[in-house]
Amino acid sequence: MQLDEHVEEIPVHKHRKGQLVLALHGAVTCQVAGALWIVPPQCGVWIPGDMPHSNRATPNAQLCYLFAEPGIVDLPKDCCTLSISPMVREIILYLAAAPLDYEKGGHIDQLARVLLRELSLMPVERLYLPFTDHPKIRQIADALNANPGDRSTISQWGKRLAMSERSLARLVVNETGLTFGRWRQQLQLLVAVRELAGGASVQRVSDELGYESVTAFITMFKKALGHPPGRYFTALARSQSQAARE
């Protein structure tokens, strides 16, 4: 295990072992083939072994990396964001400070085995954006990442990409499984969670996403994630603690 105060961006790479990137503070986005994942505080993204990926952290991020041999932990074969309970978080922090050459069958080894079992029980959060390498979709995604407040209609995007509105709408659904409107909203949600975790105010995030009022942004956020942005991380931590007690 490895604990890092802050590594802002790690380009595309892969590991033989499976990797859990845990956000202790701030947030990190992880991009793999087919999806973009957001990891808010006290959550982790699981990346199976040999899967190319890149990480981008918020300036205030503190991250912990856990590596596991293939097949040693019962986690999905695809990437996923896990909600990490306080107990599991503390075990990870304890092991991060422990020597790597621990004795097999000893206290550290037994604790690591408990951790691997507990990780398989952690609930999955659906904080991801279906992604694709199709050049038209990539162009839209890059533009919206650079300017998430762009409210251009699908018809306007079609003109920019030299496509009809119907053809572009069909392409987005075929490539991502979502309509253009739902896909753009999901991207904005990821941006919102990332920026809020990075310390931005609700007002600032609302303005950055191009909402006419803070109320409209809060309504969208609450409808999608179940809590208003000002209480989202507190509610997330509370649900993690409750899950741990159960």
The answer to whether the beta carbons of residues 147 and 188 sit under 8 Å apart is: no
- Calculate the average pLDDT of the chain: 86
**Where do the domains of the chain lie?**
2-125, 133-235
Q: Identify which of 81, 82, 104, 107 has the alpha carbon closest to the alpha carbon of residue 94.
A: 107
Average pLDDT for 86-105: 84
Span 210-242, pLDDT tens digits = 999 999 999 999 999 889 998 888 877 666 556
Span 162-217, pLDDT tens digits = 999 999 999 999 999 999 999 999 999 999 998 998 889 999 999 999 999 999 99
Kindly report the CA angle at 239 between 235 and 242, in degrees rounded to 5?
A: 140
The answer to whether the beta carbons of residues 171 and 163 sit under 8 Å apart is: yes
Q: Identify which of 246, 4, 240, 32 has the alpha carbon closest to the alpha carbon of residue 128.
A: 32
Q: Which residues pair with 128 in a beta bridge?
A: 37
Span 120-171, pLDDT tens digits = 888 888 788 898 889 999 899 889 888 999 999 999 999 999 999 999 999 9
52 alpha carbon, distance to own chain's centre: 16
**What per-residue confidence (pLDDT) applies to 241?**
58
User: pTM to 2 decimals?
Assistant: 0.77
Asked if CATH classification 1.10.10.60 holds for the domain at 133-235, the reply, yes or no, is yes
Average pLDDT for 87-91: 90
Look up residue 241 and give its two tokens: 């603690």
What is the CATH number assigned to the segment(s) 2-125? 2.60.120.280
User: Is pLDDT of 28 > 70?
Assistant: yes
Residue with tokens 């590594």: 7
29 burial level (CB within 10 Å; 0-12, 13-18, 19+):
buried
The answer to whether the beta carbons of residues 144 and 187 sit under 8 Å apart is: yes
User: Is pLDDT of 109 > 90?
Assistant: no
CA distance 116 to 20: 11
Q: What is the 3-state secondary structure (H, E, C) of 139-196?
A: HHHHHHHHCCCCCCCHHHHHHHCCCCHHHHHHHHHHHHCCCHHHHHHHHHHHHHHHHH
